[in-house]
A and B are shown apart, each in its own frame.
Chain A
């Protein structure tokens, strides 16, 4: 009998590995314990990218800059899309939208293939699998920072001073991360289970840009059902928020909250879906 009681006492410190069924908790505390790994994997992604590309930093500058030039020529000059505020020229307006958009597009492209690309880690080492798509998303922050400096230069060139709204920018960066992660979690997990998802992602990103207010302002969409549909796009709020914080344009208002709520729902759903699916990753990947 005494032996039994000792065993029970010792059992208290045992960590138990067994099959989990159905939906499980997110265990964010464990994720926090692995924050250094998350940091290192992000660091690796950034390091590798700037090492491999000959253009390195130049690429992070050129990509949004050239896109902006093309947008300005085609949509502004040829098709007559206008910036909603007369004191903000179209190039600055579209660049401010491209900032979060390219972060989002890059995050989807990287994280979509992140789990499959790290298959050797998934099958050989244990860590919370969430670390992988999260670090793939965070790796885009360096590009975002570089583009941000370009925007500052662009604003200076056009003589636009930032307003006090700029203090809220970090909030919208967090929202951009949340929106990117929300979609990335779904895509990365789905890509492990269905390997053709990775081919759909570029197409998805392309279509998504046209239904997000990158090229045109939200105000050009007529109020009504169409505006409501637009506000369900997680990126509508992020882009509107960036423009408000950086260029002092009209506060996005109602659609902003709707869009943020969609981000929250997608993110939470994505986290639980990912947690549910992660247990088979090592067997399937």
Chain B
């Protein structure tokens, strides 16, 4: 087999903390330092002029992707996944090793790169297409398909600054979806838009992955990885921890991540995995058990409460939700403040705490986490924090069930039911 589309050999990327990665330098400081250096040398001969710590974001990465294969890349935040994609996309240079690619590469590390707010949808399609590497003729040919896919209709000649965030993202993804390179590099860009559009995006990705295209796909959505990719690598602290069949790697990754340090509360002020306009910001969240004690373990059939604190300077009414998401990425439960009809929050400015009390936890044994979200009443995302407050659902101690029913083996959800058995008539 020599039908390799992409190969990495001994790939490494080092950042110097305290030098290049330091916010940025100024000419003034550099000149001042240069002027001082001879004096320092005289004063402290032999002392190191600058100490900088090396950080290997990637080290000794060996990869081979066959032509037409979709390879998933998973790993926790900061493991080096994005650095890998950046090196393969030629955005940043490797420090050691090499990458060899055969064929036209398009990388999609972000949707809407180069979008300009003042320009219309039509103009942005042309601009973004060119940025992603399409030729003018190609953009012209695909223009109608892109417009149709994006569902923006008669807003085509409106500046995108007047678009809702949903429309913006749909347009941006539509352009990207119509690239047809031989090798496609995709970062987590599918966690955008509303549910139906996400489904459409995944459908398109599926088409790409199964259409003989070579794909390198980074995602936190384990379901998407398993559906789209045949093989998967798990990157941990800059090197490959496991590589193999997608199913197998995903399972061992999930098994490990539950061991990590987790607690029943989390400070979200700097949580990176979020999107939205930011007019309100979720800063803290906690999970309480039936006794009101913070926990990471809750019990099937028992009460549970999730609380989050937010700060808002938003001048219109907001919609608060919490979603319980399976560790494999499926969204399972949706809690909305609208389910409490007498609650009419109105415009809230300042700091508030939202509490969702669930009287009966309808989940089978398994690992879950939360998405906490604030939207406007027209469902424009204000702050959506993803993958927080991981918890384990366990069966109650005096469960009437004689053996364990886990989410992965039976089903995620459970509901009170009554069963009767009688002779068939």
- B323 on the A face (CB < 8 A): no
**Chain B 124-159 near chain A by CB (<8 Å), digits 1 or 0:** 001100111101100000000000000000000000
A43 to B107, CA, bound (A): 23
Which residues of the other chain, A, contact B127 by a CB distance below 8 angstroms? 40-41, 43-44
A15 to B99, CA, bound (A): 8
- Contact partner of B86 (CB less than 8 A), chosen from A51, A193, A282, is A282
- Contact partner of B91 (CB less than 8 A), chosen from A19, A36, A44, A123, is A123
**Contact A126-B91, Cβ < 8 Å, known A121-B113, A121-B131:** yes
A125 touches B25 (CB 8 A): no
**Contact A194-B26, Cβ < 8 Å, known A120-B110, A123-B91:** yes
**Contact A17-B91, Cβ < 8 Å, known A120-B114, A121-B114:** no
Which residues of the other chain, A, contact B355 by a CB distance below 8 angstroms? none
A10 touches B27 (CB 8 A): no
- A3 on the B face (CB < 8 A): yes
Which residues of the other chain, A, contact B30 by a CB distance below 8 angstroms? 194
- B20 on the A face (CB < 8 A): yes
Say how far A271's CB is from chain B's closest CB, in angstroms: 19
- A210 on the B face (CB < 8 A): no
Stretch in contact with the other chain, from B115-123, B302-310, B388-396 = B115-123
B98 touches A124 (CB 8 A): no
A193 to B118, CA, bound (A): 29
A62 to B150, CA, bound (A): 41
- B56 on the A face (CB < 8 A): no
Number of interface residues of B (CB under 8 A): 47
B99 touches A19 (CB 8 A): no
**Chain A 31-49 near chain B by CB (<8 Å), digits 1 or 0:** 0000011011101100110
Total number of A-B contacts with CB less than 8 angstroms? 126
Interface set, chain A 97-139, CB cutoff 8 A to B: 118, 120-127
- B97 on the A face (CB < 8 A): yes
A10 touches B2 (CB 8 A): yes
Say how far A11's CB is from chain B's closest CB, in angstroms: 7
A195 touches B92 (CB 8 A): no
- Contact partner of A10 (CB less than 8 A), chosen from B28, B97, B102, is B102
Closest residue of B by beta carbon distance from A37: B130
A16 to B98, CA, bound (A): 7
Closest residue of B by beta carbon distance from A200: B27
A159 to B310, CA, bound (A): 71
Which residues of the other chain, A, contact B357 by a CB distance below 8 angstroms? none
**Contact A17-B94, Cβ < 8 Å, known A36-B136, A283-B15, A284-B20:** yes
Say how far B105's CB is from chain A's closest CB, in angstroms: 8
- Seen from chain A, the residues whose Cβ lies within 8 Å of a Cβ on chain B are 3, 6-7, 9-11, 13-20, 36-37, 39-41, 43-44, 47-48, 51-52, 118, 120-127, 190, 193-197, 200, 279-280, 282-284
The 5 closest A-B pairs by CB, nearest first: A194-B27, A40-B130, A18-B98, A14-B100, A126-B90
